[in-house]
Amino acid sequence: MKCILMNKNTKVLLAEYDSATGVFMKILDVYNILYAPYIITNFYNKDNLNDDSFRTNLSNWFKGRGIPLWRDSLDLLLHRLNIVAPSELLDKAFGLSLSDQYWLKPQNLDVCYDDINFFDHDFSYTEFMEASLSKNSKIITKDASLKTPNNTTDGMLKKAWIIEDGVRYLLKGGYKNELLQPFNEVLASEICSRLGFNHVDYKIAVYKDIVVSKCPCFINKDTELVTCNQIKNAMERHNNINDYEEYIKILENHGIKDARIKLENMYILDFLIMNEDRHLNNFGIIRDVNTLKWLDLAPIFDNGQSLNIKYYDEEEMHISGEGRFFYELKPFDEIINVVKDIKRIDLSKLDGIVEWFEQLLHKYQYLTGFSDIRINRLCILLNRQINKLKELQKYN
């Protein structure tokens, strides 16, 4: 079918779109490439609208908005939703998301953004939440509404958007039988709050005896998240240690204040909680979709894959000591060296946080089944990282 890719109220391009596969088969016209998804703008060739790289990257971007094939318990989710593949969901609600303002408008359909967006309008989420997070959800009926932003959620963790008192919240569970991720999100939020880092606020919630993290949407109907992964396509170098410096330069050139310090704050947090998964899609910038102005770095979010004790016993614990720094896996003790002035952080503000975390883990122990030994090991690890950072402050 012929569809117009829209950015809020701005026409981006006209294309033949295959709803069965989520692929743009042919680009028919380009109206305003500046308002296209940032990741594809560098592939645009005005002399060849159907340049393979442009069309392929457009399709990959759109399919990447959907539920990935590596989503935890995907087969079960699809069974409960009564569909065959995640691609079936992509255009159920015009491809609308709560991370940006892009949507697909059928060419002959009289509909506008203000009538359908999920920031202004409520959506049904009970069926999807049950299908995604419940242990014993039934198969939903054919007439159940799948017009929801839950169709456009990426990542491996089970999750669901809900609405409470008009606020859009994202619920995220743990991975398979591992329930630590929600607690790591809340710990990261507490550390950021104490140290004054801009962050998304996570809380613990319980849904049908399942522990999840709960955070508000940090995008509104006038903004979008542009990830570092999208921005790197405009960088001159790739897979190079200098990409970090070039990324900072790009941020500064777009008027982002204190870009280096804000990035350093993220890596300080990663050091403290040993976050192994700071990939290029879980940090970036917030952009105004009306003016295209870069407003600020995105608040720190998605910190669940942390404090990963691989195995432990009465005598010792074995941990992963590497995190992600752009394209590289590097020891945390090396990543922290990107912070130019480590003494600017007042670590006394973290006094008592280990005990706070221990109490949090014990509070929900009846649901998680975490042993006292494991809780103790997690607190030892957190305390060790705080003390290591204090030692670095002494000698730098």
How large is the average pLDDT for residues 237-246? 73
How large is the average pLDDT for residues 300-307? 94
316 contact partners, CB below 8 Å, separation of at least 6: none
Residue pair 283/160 in contact by the 8 Å Cβ criterion = no
Residue boundaries of the structural domains of the chain: 223-394
How large is the average pLDDT for residues 192-218? 95
How large is the average pLDDT for residues 335-340? 96
Mean pLDDT of the chain: 90
Q: Which of 9-18, 280-289, 339-348, 369-378 has the lowest mean pLDDT?
A: 369-378
DSSP 8-state symbol, 143: T
Q: Are strands 102-106 and 159-164 parallel, antiparallel or unpaired?
A: unpaired
Predicted pLDDT of residue 70? 80
How large is the average pLDDT for residues 259-271? 98
How large is the average pLDDT for residues 281-299? 97
How large is the average pLDDT for residues 20-24? 87
Rg of the chain (C-alpha set): 22
Predicted pLDDT of residue 336? 96
Q: Look at residues 31, 21, 53 and name the one whose alpha carbon lies nearest to residue 40.
A: 53
Q: Which of 226-240, 263-277, 325-339 has the lowest mean pLDDT?
A: 226-240
Of 49 and 115, the structure prediction assigns the larger pLDDT to 115
Length reported for the chain: 396
- Greatest mean pLDDT among 76-85, 140-149, 289-298 lies in 289-298
Predicted pLDDT of residue 142? 58
How large is the average pLDDT for residues 290-303? 97
Predicted pLDDT of residue 306? 92
Phi-psi bin for 261: left (phi > 0), alpha (psi -120 to 50), beta?
alpha
Predicted pLDDT of residue 78? 80
How large is the average pLDDT for residues 241-256? 91
C-alpha to C-alpha distance for 281 and 260, rounded to whole angstroms: 18
> Cα separations (Å) of 68 from 131, 214, 279?
16, 21, 16
Predicted pLDDT of residue 80? 82
Predicted pLDDT of residue 153? 87
Residue pair 31/244 in contact by the 8 Å Cβ criterion = no
Instruction: Encode pLDDT of 312-325 as tens digits.
Output: 555 556 566 889 99
How large is the average pLDDT for residues 142-150? 74
Q: Which of 78-82, 96-100, 341-345 has the lowest mean pLDDT?
A: 78-82
How large is the average pLDDT for residues 188-196? 98
Residue with token string 């560098």: 42
Fold adopted by 223-394: 1.10.1070
